Structure 1
Amino acid sequence: MSSPDDRTVLAAGCVLWRRTPRPDPAAHPADIEICLVHRPKYDDWSHPKGKLKRGEDALAGALREVAEETGHTAAPGPELPTVRYLADGRLKQVRYWAAEAVSGAFRPNDEVDRVRWLTPDAARARLTRPRDRTLVDALLTTARLP
């Protein structure tokens, strides 16, 4: 697709994940959990994301949105597929990255009232929109996970 026109809403986000160590790492390697956010305005479960500020770099915006919505700082990994859809009659383009949660803690805010850390299968099932489920698959096939 060519570069977005002036009417396209540009946004960015992350599929945020963390390691979940097992009691006996020698017998069971670490698994991962994926962070989903609940937005009361839409009553949906999604990956943390948001609109970019004018002139903001997409990756910087994605990491800013993760921090604002989840309270976590994140180490970015590979870029995941870009998602495009209509929102309020305008094309919205959201660039995503895999990102490992490094530190932080969630506090409810105006945009996000809950977060859940779920296994990939449970995250896929909890996500409200099918287009967000494909990002879980992309994370698992693209990122180098434990």
Structure 2
Amino acid sequence: MTVPQKPVRAAGCVLWRRAASEDGLEIALVHRPKYGDWSHPKGKLKRGEDALAGAVREVAEETGMDCRPGAPLPTAHYLANGRAKQVRYWAAEAVAGAFVPNSEVDRLLWLSPAEARCYLTHERDRPLVDALLAALHLA
């Protein structure tokens, strides 16, 4: 009998900032060269790390941005490399910082919500854009 493995725990944010665009905001997406994808900033939690603290840490590591976390957003559940993965998300406003490319993330784009939906590589990430807009009462 095999014992089921615990899911890989991860956390991230749908990072946003105010903008002069039609929607009044822009969403940050990161490009990860290892996977060749565009996604919301996220990553695995360290042992014993609180999910929200991990989400804020991952945003800082991947985008260079300090953020103010807000409403929780839907949790994503999917398989990654044959293992169950659970990613908790929060809305987070970028408040300061600057992006510097690194080995994990080589590009960052600030996009309108409509553009962000189109750029996101994985279908599972698109509903998070709508969840952010609903959390900010813009939907």
Q: What is the TM-score with the length of structure 2 in the denominator?
A: 0.93
Per the alignment, residue 107 of structure 1 pairs with 100
Q: Does the CA contact (< 8 Å) of 1:80 and 1:139 recur in 2?
A: yes
Q: Does the CA contact (< 8 Å) of 1:80 and 1:96 recur in 2?
A: yes
Distance 1:109 1:67, change over 3 A: same
The alpha carbon displacement at 1:118 in A equals: 0.1
Per the alignment, residue 57 of structure 1 pairs with 50
Name the % identity. Answer: 69
Per the alignment, residue 25 of structure 1 pairs with none
For residues 51 and 88 of structure 1, what CA distance do their matches in structure 2 show? 14
The alpha carbon displacement at 1:41 in A equals: 0.3
Q: Does the CA contact (< 8 Å) of 1:77 and 1:143 recur in 2?
A: no
1:86 aligns with 2:79: yes
3-state secondary structure, aligned to 1:112: coil
For residues 128 and 86 of structure 1, what CA distance do their matches in structure 2 show? 16
Q: What is the TM-score with the length of structure 1 in the denominator?
A: 0.88
Q: Where do 1:19-58 residues align within 5 Å?
A: 19-21=18-20, 31-58=24-51
The alpha carbon displacement at 1:7 in A equals: 2.7
Q: What runs of 5+ residues in structure 2 fail to find an aligned partner?
A: none
The alpha carbon displacement at 1:142 in A equals: 1.6
Please report the RMSD computed on the Cα atoms of aligned residues, expressed in angstroms.
1.5
Per the alignment, residue 128 of structure 1 pairs with 121
Which residue of 133, 141, 145 corresponds with 2:134? Answer: 141
* Aligned positions, number: 135
Letter of the structure 2 residue corresponding to residue 12 of structure 1: A
Q: What runs of 5+ residues in structure 1 fail to find an aligned partner?
A: 23-27
Per the alignment, residue 90 of structure 2 pairs with 97
The alpha carbon displacement at 1:21 in A equals: 3.4
